[in-house]
Amino acid sequence: MNKINRREFNKTLVKGVGGISIASQLPFHSLRNRFDKKSLGVALVGLGSYSRGQLAPGLLETEHCHLAGIVTGTPAKAESWSKKYNIDKENIYNYENFDQIASNKNIDIVYVVLPNAMHADFCIRAAKAGKHVICEKPMAISVAECDAIIAACNKANVKLSVGYRLQSEPYTLEVKRIVREKVFGELRYVSADAGYNSRGNPDQWRLNYALSGGGALMNMGVYAIQSAIYGSGQNPTSVSAQEFSTRPEYFKDTDEAIAAQFEFPSGAVGNIFTSHNANVNRLYSAFDKGWVELNPANNYGPLSGRRSDGEIIKFPHKRQQSLQMDDFAKHILTGSLNRAPGEMGKRDMIIVEAIYESIKKNGVKIDLNLGRLGIVE
């Protein structure tokens, strides 16, 4: 298992952080008054744009968990976060002393929000420390690393979840219901697109293969794969894929855009498209007697949906990350459904590896054997 040098990792982050960043300005206040015995302490490992803009603000809105600790290699971040969120000094760690978190009773869950190539290392270390684990998507950079994370969590008897925020989001759950209950009959076709136009710093870690393990497919492509699966209610049986490059001077190390075609056990077919050079954000499922669409389908929300019978799908907006983390906390506390278990992350990485294999073989169809995982949707 390859490990990224912590010092080099910090240097890379200074150069630029990729992905979609949504700024959030929050007033300083203490969370301590609302903690109770039913609220689990979460430590965020990595304080980049997603932790700063989504996870930390989301933990201000959760009911069953709260921000209790942080792990960062940047002392200035440790100081500013400590002041902003009233985090006690004993709950602040760096990448070198992270394993000492094992003795911290204030922290129940470790959320790994590092570059993809560092997921396995810190998830396994968190499990060995006896902490429940949330691993940001994609789960790892290989199926083998997914297996290692799952094995470590099983051995330590801790719970594991992947950071699939949309699995707790009401629009997504409504599409699942429509598919499951066959509101419009049998599925015939599904199309899922997920991407954005990257014009930022070319040195960002998402464009560095050693840190990301891939490009658009390993970032937004995971959403497209997920959408195609819950938009069909089936795991694909085969995939073929093609890669496109229009800006090779910018995407020097990672894939810019990928299209893939799925076959499903019912006979239905599907397409996905993912890109770091195009703003695409849609799910469309066609059935015998109608269709359902989410557009947008995978951003931070609010999402929007409609059906062929004229019905508009609409729900009150709530931060997806809050819903996701509360669902996992409830799973730990009550044994409720784990909406995004490690096996789901492994399944998606099997599909990712098959897509890359198909591209290397000029689009040849690759058979998949996913039923054994027992994970659909």
The single residue of 171, 196, 223, 356 carrying the catalytic annotation is 223
Closest of 292, 273, 275 to residue 232, by C-alpha: 292
Question: Does the annotation count 223 as an active-site position?
Answer: yes
d(CA 305, CA 72): 39
E strands present in 145-222 = 160-162, 187-197
Question: Does the annotation count 50 as an active-site position?
Answer: no
Q: Going by DSSP bridges, is the β-strand pair 277-287/290-294 parallel, antiparallel, or unpaired?
A: antiparallel
Query: CA torsion sign, 324 to 221 to 141 to 56?
Result: negative
> How far does Cα 278 stand from its chain's mean position?
20
Closest of 239, 203, 234, 204 to residue 221, by C-alpha: 239
The single residue of 50, 77, 93, 137 carrying the catalytic annotation is 137
Q: What is the dihedral of CA 369, 117, 81, 317, to 10 degrees?
A: -30
Per the CB < 8 A criterion, the answer to whether 266 and 186 are in contact is yes
Per the CB < 8 A criterion, the answer to whether 198 and 146 are in contact is no
Alpha helices in 198-304 (DSSP H): 209-212, 221-230
d(CA 231, CA 242): 22
d(CA 341, CA 150): 9
The DSSP line for 298-334 is SSSS---EEETTSPEE------HHHHHHHHHHHHHHH
Catalytic residues: 137, 223
